Chain A
């Protein structure tokens, strides 16, 4: 019975254009990497324009950076790295066929993702109250005010695009958690867990670079 079920699961998991599951697995992983390369170009353009303006207006960017909360930024880095660990452990659980452990690690990853977004939202609220949001209530009048404004525009554009990627990641993890709950993954078939894991780790890497560039400029 169990063998029949595994055979059936493999049959339904294998798309007809592939020879076997190993080939399908490799193609899926490379497909996600190709997508991640387009994401490197997407965020890369922002990182390069940030570098250009930072070089031109160093004093203004340092002044702007000092208005951000380094403690919350550091805490969020730790939260996101922890969510990467739980994601890696979810993939491990899938490879080993521990379905319940897989569900638990997926939920834990989602929880840490939500904690990250919560802290980020709290930071946005703090910055709003300080009058640091360009186009909404930018009230900073100290030295280098226009350059500080430019820094804050970079900060909000880059962190909100990152947060959008987190939201997409959370939606994908919700689908994974439902599929895991329905026991759709096995030791032979768990490619979606791995592929979405790659995406989650990539979003983590974007933050790894945003953290020093935005919070530790000074």
Chain B
């Protein structure tokens, strides 16, 4: 059976998540320049997603097979993004293609 996680873990994770929401929101008013603003916003989103997956979805306390399933999703998403963008971002760099 799944491990019972102390309730204060959930409250702490929730507090961090809300802090990150406020941080993203505050940063959006600083009007950071283009590549930096997206990188910061997406980094915060990845941290939030990790917290939800590891604690709310119990993956931190789950079997290695669950980790394999979750890893497959992350790996697939990484592959489709990196391979697709390695095409679109390099068009025009190699002449004659």
- The residues of A with any CB-CB pair to B shorter than 8 Å are 21-22, 25-26, 29-30, 33-34, 36-37, 40-41, 44-45, 47-48, 51-52, 55-56, 58, 62, 70, 74, 77-78, 81-82, 84-85, 87-89, 92, 95-96, 188, 194, 197-198, 201-202, 204-205, 208-209, 211-213, 215-218
Q: Which of A40, A87, A218 is B31 in contact with, Cβ under 8 Å?
A: A218
B 33-51 to A, binary, CB cutoff 8 A, 1 in contact else 0: 0100110011011001100
What are the 8 A-B residue pairs with the smallest beta carbon separation, nearest first?
A: A212-B41, A33-B69, A40-B73, A85-B14, A88-B56, A74-B25, A216-B41, A37-B73
Question: What separation, in Å, do the CA atoms of A48 and B83 have in the docked complex?
Answer: 10
Asked if B93 lies at the interface with its beta carbon under 8 angstroms from chain A, I say no
Q: Answer whether A29 and B62 are a contact pair too, CB < 8 Å, given A22-B1, A212-B24.
A: yes
Q: Quick one: which of A30, A52, A56, A197 contacts B69, CB cutoff 8 A? A: A30
Q: How far is the CB of B36 from chain A (nearest CB, A)?
A: 12
The complex places the Cα of A62 from the Cα of B80 at a distance, in Å, of 24
Q: Does the CB pair B52–A204 fall under 8 Å?
A: yes
Nearest chain A CB to B13 CB, angstrom units: 8
Is B81 interfacial (CB 8 A cutoff)? yes
Q: A29-B62, A40-B73, A201-B56 are in contact. List 16 more A-B contacts (CB 8 A).
A: A25-B1, A40-B77, A41-B76, A45-B80, A47-B77, A51-B81, A55-B85, A85-B11, A92-B4, A188-B1, A194-B2, A209-B42, A211-B24, A216-B41, A217-B38, A218-B31
- Bound complex: CA of A44 vs CA of B79, how far in Å? 11
- Given contacts A216-B41, A218-B31, are A37 and B76 in contact (CB under 8 A)? yes
Q: How large is the interface on B (under 10, 10 to 19, 20 to 34, 35 or more residues)?
A: 35 or more
A55→B89 contact, CB < 8 A: yes
Task: Name the distance in Å between B16's Cβ and chain A's nearest Cβ.
Answer: 10
Assess whether B7 is in contact with A25, with CB atoms less than 8 Å apart.
Answer: no
Residues of B within 8 Å of A84, CB to CB, are 14, 52, 56
> Which residues of chain A are near B76, meaning CB under 8 Å?
37, 40-41, 44
Name the residue of chain A whose CB is nearest to the CB of B27.
Answer: A216
Cβ-based interface call for B63 (8 A)? yes
CB 8 Å contact bits of B13-26 with A (1 = contact, 0 = none): 11001100100110
Q: Which residues of B contact A202 (CB under 8 A)?
A: 57
Name the one of B24, B31, B52, B70 contacting A33, with C-beta atoms under 8 angstroms.
B70
